[in-house]
């Protein structure tokens, strides 16, 4: 007997959220979220600022923190970041 096994590729969306506001020099927390708990191996989310977030197996979120700029010349300039790559 021969059994054919069809592999269904599981897809998910990764979203990135950040602390809504922070004082200059304060802490900004970035949170990456997936729609279902991670299986198999951790998910690594690379950010445009060079940081990475790891979402461990069994979890749906991972976080990383960074300091808000403390630059008198830029004042209340927004801090931007984005996902550049996801693996795992």
Give per-residue pLDDT as tens, 73-87: 666 677 889 999 999
Q: Is 87 part of any domain?
A: no
Q: Is 26 part of any domain?
A: yes
Q: Is 31 part of any domain?
A: yes
The pTM assigned to this predicted structure is 0.82
Domain residue limits at 48: 15-68
Q: Is 29 part of any domain?
A: yes
| CA 74 to mean position of chain CA atoms | 26
Q: Is 2 part of any domain?
A: no
Number of domains the chain is built from: 1
Q: Is 21 part of any domain?
A: yes
Residue in the structure block whose two tokens are 């749906």: 60
Give the pLDDT score at 83: 96
Long-range contacts of 54-57, Cβ-Cβ distance < 8 Å, separation of 24 or more: 55/88
């Amino acid at each position: 007997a021969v059994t054919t096994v069809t592999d269904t590729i599981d897809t998910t969306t990764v979203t990135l959220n950040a602390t809504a506001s922070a004082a200059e020099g304060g802490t900004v927390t970035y949170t990456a979220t997936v729609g279902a708990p991670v299986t198999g191996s951790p998910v690594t989310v690379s950010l445009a600022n060079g940081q990475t977030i790891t979402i461990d197996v069994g979890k749906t979120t991972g976080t990383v923190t960074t300091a808000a700029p403390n630059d008198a010349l830029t004042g209340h300039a927004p801090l931007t970041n984005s996902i550049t790559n996801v693996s795992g």
